[in-house]
Amino acid sequence: MVLHRETEEEIVGEFADLTAGSTRSEAFDSLVELNGQCLELLADQAYAQPTPGSLLLRQVGDIWRTLDAAARRRAASCPYLLVDAGFSDPSRWQWLQAQHVQEPAPAPYASFFTVPRASAVARQVFMYAWHLAQSKNTAAQLLLGMPLYCTNLISSCTLPQIHTLAERHPEWLRPRWPSKVKVWRELLLAAASGEVVALENARMHGLQLLAAEFRAASLRVP
């Protein structure tokens, strides 16, 4: 199944419908676990970041340390991955298919994460994306905001290629929407309160942002 792309509202509806069906799936359980590790990574980076640092990191770090285990689980239970690794950028993944024609490797990006945990989390994110693209391409579109063209590129990679790419480019990993501090604060405060409506609103806000990015990326690629 391929997500339709006519309007962002339709995409949000499809994302929400698919999410409702995925909340008991193995892919979603793995997503929640991975999101928890990503939030821990953000908190680690917040503690390591020199003042004044990033406003997003300060907000996440300040709120995260106040959350108990149940609230952290609620924060991690978003219907999308809370970090990105260029999943809507085909140029990063095309290189793997073009090495035989001596294409230059993707240029390095500035690292957002510099703490020791970052490399291990990056490897897990790359592997999770590859597994979804290989076995559940609709879930890859839904949970990662990955256009079908990028899904096909990643799914055609071999396991050693993905391992190599993760080792060489952990700097691709960064939080979703790093400039939208309000979105992150809304999510974490709703998770802290445990208020169902507030939490659903926060998750829906994220879905709307992801749907807009998904549609824009789908229009850019072949």
Taking all residues of the chain, what is their mean pLDDT, rounded to a whole number?
84
pLDDT computed for residue 74 by the predictor: 96
Q: What is the pLDDT of residue 76?
A: 96
CA dist., res. 203 & res. 16, Å (int): 10
Distance CA 26, CA 154 (A): 20
98-110 in b/e form (b: 16+ CB < 10 A) is eeeeeeeebeeee
What the block records as the tokens of 174 is 């960064």
- pLDDT of 219: 77
Distance CA 38, CA 120 (A): 10
Radius of gyration of the chain (CA): 17
CB contact at 8 A, 84 and 169:
no
- What single string gives the DSSP state of each residue in 15-34? HHHHHHHHTTSHHHHHHHHH
Mean pLDDT of 154-172: 89
User: pLDDT by residue (tens digit) across 177-211?
Assistant: 999 999 999 999 999 999 999 999 999 999 889 98
pLDDT at 79 over 70: yes
**Helical H runs in 49-147?**
55-64, 69-76, 90-97, 117-135, 137-144
Distance CA 220, CA 42 (A): 30
pLDDT at 147: 87
* pLDDT of 221 over the 80 cut: no
pLDDT at 165 over 80: yes
pTM of the entire predicted model = 0.85
pLDDT of amino acid 101 = 42
**pLDDT (average), residues 51-67:** 87
Type and span of the H or E element at 36: helix 26-48
Q: Which residue has the tokens 């991975």?
A: 34
CA nearest to 14, candidates 143, 188, 168, 162: 143
The pLDDT value given to residue 173? 96
The predicted-structure confidence for 19-58, as pLDDT tens digits, reads as follows 555 545 777 889 999 999 999 999 999 999 766 778 899 8
